[in-house]
Structure formats: C-alpha cells, structure tokens
Structure 1
Amino acid sequence: MTSTDNSTHEGFTAEERAAMKDHAQELKTAARRGSRADKAAEAERDVLAKIAEMQDSDRIMAERVHAVITAGAPVLAPKLWYGMPAYALDGKVVCFFQSAAKFKARYATLGFSDQAKLDEGTMWAAGFALTEVTPEVEARISALVKQALS
C-alpha cells in the first residue's frame, strides 16, 4: 500500500528543490546567450537583479559583498549559482553569497568552494555567517577573496 503522507520523508526541502530548479534554469539561460562579453554582462545583470529581489537586510549585505568582490577581484565573474550571487574564475565558482531568507536561516552566508585556496593546515573555514557588513567585515571579505585566488 502506498502512502501520500510525506511528513517523515527525509528528501530535499522545498527551498532546496527551488534552488536546484534555479540552477537548471541558470544553465539553460547561459547556454542560450551569445558572445562571451554578452554572457558576462548579462550574468552580472542577473546577479544584480537577484540581489534587488532580496529582503532588506539580505539585499544590503549582498550589495556590499558584491561591491567588495567586484572591486577587489575583477578577475572573478559574477553569475547566479543555485539562485544566489556567485563569483567564478574560468567558469568555476570560487565564492558565493547565500541570503538568510533563501533557506530560512538565521543568518546570511559568504561561502567558498573547493576552488578557493583558503587551505590552512588540515582544517579551515569554507563558510562565514554574516549578520551585518561593516567596514571591518568588508576588509575581511576582501582579504579572504584575495587569499582564495592566491
């Protein structure tokens, strides 16, 4: 007998499924775009549009993170990644911003992929909680991004 009660199912959350759908759409959109310059300009517009849709506190932090990363690491190309702003080198995501509201989390996150060179001994941080982006946080983000690219 089959059951329609999924309350005990331990699969993906609705937010995770939505993020996967966002990623699939991002891949389709990127495949349809024209020249490399067009793709880069449109990808940045997509990122800025996604940031503009965020709730106030997330939007403010995402705007500051975007400004710090694009100013301090112009080699990184903004792009959407699972519906969130990300920054890639040669098409591979190095770092990303995840809004608190996206996954109903307590705080936003600045995350780094395995492409980031943040290695420090046998264990290092790959994600950082953000509750506010102060000048000190901006400096830390800038330093982390520079280290990630070193």
Structure 2
Amino acid sequence: MTTTQKPTATAEKFDGFTDEERGAMKARAQELKASSRRGSRADKAAEEEAAVVAKIAEMQESDRVMAERIHAVIKESVPELAPKLWYGMPAYAKDGKVVCFFQSAQKFSARYATFGFSDKANLDDGSMWPASYALTELTAEGAAKIGALVEKAVN
C-alpha cells in the first residue's frame, strides 16, 4: 500500500501488536544489542544476571516474590544455566539458548504469572507435554517441582 492508498476494510480491522507486545520486542532488540558488546564472558554473565535481578526487583510484589524464589531455585538446582533477559523477562539459558523463563502477570496484563520452557528444554513425554505453568503463588512443593523440571529440561 502506498502512502496515497486508503486502507482496505481488512487493514482497518488489523489492530497490530499490543503495547505489551511492542514493549517485549523493543526489550528483545535492546537485549541483542547489549549481548553484542565486547567484554569478557564473565563480565557479560555478571551484567546479564544483574539485569535479571533488576527486572525482578521492578515486578509487583506477588510476582517479585515468585520470581526471586524461582531465580534461587534455578541457581541452586542447575547452576550451569545462565540468567539473562529474554523479551524483557527473566530467563535461563544453556549455551546461549533459553531453556526456561518467568513471565510476570503484569507483563501482558494476565491474571497469573507463568513459568515456561522453550523448545530447547528436554521435557518431551510422548506426543504431548506441558510447556508452561500458571502460577498464583509459589509453595515449597511448587518450587521443588520447578527445580526437578529444570533439571530434567537441561539433561
């Protein structure tokens, strides 16, 4: 469509991306730009973890409490996973590939937070298995389940 053409009825109905989706894409672009900067691997890892901790600190209290606990569980259960931001969300990667992530409820104005796995996670179980979990709170049992799932995901 040129600048002189009028939008069609189909184009007028297209709402495009939500503000939250655009924000996530902008965050991802900034993450990629930051990861391309020069520096030692240790410096980059420390910067990425600091960015994750800062992002968690910005969350609403209920999400922040869960995200802090998940961060601790993953660092304890699978220390080889590297914390990093992924579309503005705390995520954990192996060899640079995101394995799992935490999405706060406020990220996309949802009624619950989500802990999810990417397709890099080794959770395959037949022809169908869960790839994300809704969280309204994180109990000791839930934290233990997340730790076990993350361990399975990287093995």
Task: Compute the TM-score of the two structures, normalised by the length of structure 1.
Answer: 0.95
1:19 to 24, 30, 36: 24
Match of 1:8 among 13, 25, 44: 13
1:98 aligns with one of 103, 108, 118: 103
Gaps of 5+ in 1: none
Partners of 1:69 and 1:33 lie apart in 2 by: 27
In 2: Cα distance, 1:7 partner to 1:59 partner: 39
Secondary structure, aligned partner of 1:32? coil
2:56 paired residue number: 51
Larger Rg: 2
Other structure's SS at 2:13 match = coil
What is the SS of the residue equivalent to 2:36?
Answer: helix
Q: Percent identity between the aligned chains?
A: 68
Structure 2: gaps (5+ residues): none
- Determine whether 1:38 maps to 2:43: yes
Q: How does 1:1-150 map to 2 (within 5 A)?
A: 2=6, 8-150=13-155
- AA at the equivalent of 1:127: S
Classify 1:68/1:86 alpha carbon distance in 2 versus 1 (closer, same or farther; 3 Å): same
What RMSD over aligned residues (CA atoms) do the two structures have, in Å? 1.5
Aligned residues: 149
| Partner SS state of residue 128, structure 1 | strand
Distance 1:2 1:15 in 2: 28
Q: Secondary structure at the match of 1:97?
A: strand
- Runs of 4 or more, structure 1, over 2 Å off, are none
